[in-house]
Structure 1
């Protein structure tokens, strides 16, 4: 029984500890500090909607007090809520409060805070939200305010990356058309014609290679044939690095074999003179 009474007494104490708003007042001034409108806010009835121009400034002052003791207190959290009832957008702006409970908020439309929601022709409902660990939370509907319409934000450079891209459709080239057989035969004959001329000239002049298979000439001829085989192998299977490696290995004996072949040929020609 005693424990239940203690809980009831504690609940009554917590319920009694509440916050109140004293002397809320707003002032609207132009960029040249000319006062356009100033009035005290009523907590029971909203004033006529406020209107701010593109360079106007709104100043809001008030004091937060303990409802029982009447002393100024500093809540743990104090926010102004800007709410667009039509679009459902809202913005929360923290408000600094001194240990004595005095608060001052300034909204300069020349440099509006990013917490203000996008504005249109509709007014924003402004309310004050108070939160505390030792007092009951409180919310006060202060006024409605018209702000200049928001400009369309610039498109982000990566905006296109966050949209659905068009479907990738693969296209294939049509099959290559072969030329007529007659044209192919004409070009094949044009390619082979130099060989026909060469063989015909060899038939008239006569091909004489008397020392082709001599021991001094055959190694050089075989090594030259090896280079031809290497080129064919490269065309079929090898890579460039492998061709350079094998070609370098063949080049060394080819140099010495060629030197020996030239020396032997020179001796033969000198003996014929």
Structure 2
């Protein structure tokens, strides 16, 4: 029985905790600070829309009041809601309320808040006040419509194009490499092997026995010539021009040294044979 009585008492106290809005008024001032319009805000009758210029400032004052206790209340949350019925854009602007329930809000169009949605010159914003407190019923008060100048287009970010869909990338592959005709390949093969044919022809004119060619003085020179042929083949298959020049420079020095020794050995052999 005592528990039921406590619940009824709690329900009665919750029902009694009703918030109201008192001393609500708006004031419009121009850029010089002179008052253009000042009217109280009625929560029961529709008022004429509040129209602001580009340099005007809107000052809104009110007090959140507990109707039963007869004193000001500091609610837990208080917001001004801007709503555009045409575009569906809306914004919520928190309002600071003092401990005695009094609040003051200023809207300066020279520095509009970020919560203010984009506006058009002929489309007013619906303005309402939303108040909430844990120990009181929520309160929503419809304020006069707000007619503002058309807002400027937001500046274009330099990286905006990066966030748009880009054209589809189509890969173009090179056609397969075409091999030259066989007769042309045969001609260039003959050109590559021609120095060896000339070398064999010159050897046939020199009275040098085959075992003597493989002597320690002549064989290194023949090996360097074969290395040159292998380097050219490797260049055709895999190597790059810079690598061929680097390796060829080393082979050139070795060829000069071994060739000099080979010529010296052949000259000494001829001289000894003549004696």
* TM-score (norm. length: structure 2): 0.77
Find the counterpart in structure 1 of residue 76 from structure 2: 76
Find the counterpart in structure 1 of residue 64 from structure 2: 64
Report SS of the residue matched to 2:144.
strand
Distance in 1 (CA, whole Å) between partners of 2:153 and 2:41 is: 33
Distance in 2 (CA, whole Å) between partners of 1:189 and 1:253 is: 30
Distance in 2 (CA, whole Å) between partners of 1:249 and 1:190 is: 26
Identify which range, 65-74 or 262-271, moves more after superposition.
262-271
Shift of 1:157: 3.3
**Aligned residue-pair number:** 266
Shift of 1:53: 0.9
Find the counterpart in structure 1 of residue 236 from structure 2: 235
Query: CA 1:270–1:78 in 2, change beyond 3 Å: closer, same or farther?
Result: farther
Shift of 1:81: 0.5
Find the counterpart in structure 1 of residue 28 from structure 2: 28
Report SS of the residue matched to 1:143.
coil
Distance in 2 (CA, whole Å) between partners of 1:109 and 1:133 is: 34
Q: 1:115-151, CA deviations, whole angstroms, 9 ceiling, x for partnerless residues?
A: 0011112101111110111111101111111111112
Provide structure 2 residue ranges, at least 5 long, that are not aligned to the other structure: none
Find the counterpart in structure 2 of residue 133 from structure 1: 134
Query: CA 1:209–1:156 in 2, change beyond 3 Å: closer, same or farther?
Result: farther
Find the counterpart in structure 2 of residue 149 from structure 1: 150
Find the counterpart in structure 1 of residue 6 from structure 2: 6
Report SS of the residue matched to 1:38.
strand
Q: 1:80-133, CA deviations, whole angstroms, 9 ceiling, x for partnerless residues?
A: 001111221111000011111111100000010110011112101111110111
Distance in 1 (CA, whole Å) between partners of 2:77 and 2:17 is: 16
Query: CA 1:134–1:37 in 2, change beyond 3 Å: closer, same or farther?
Result: same
Q: 1:54-97, CA deviations, whole angstroms, 9 ceiling, x for partnerless residues?
A: 11111111111211122122111010001111221111000011
Distance in 2 (CA, whole Å) between partners of 1:226 and 1:177 is: 29
What root-mean-square deviation, in Å, do the aligned CA atoms of Structure 1 and Structure 2 show?
4.3
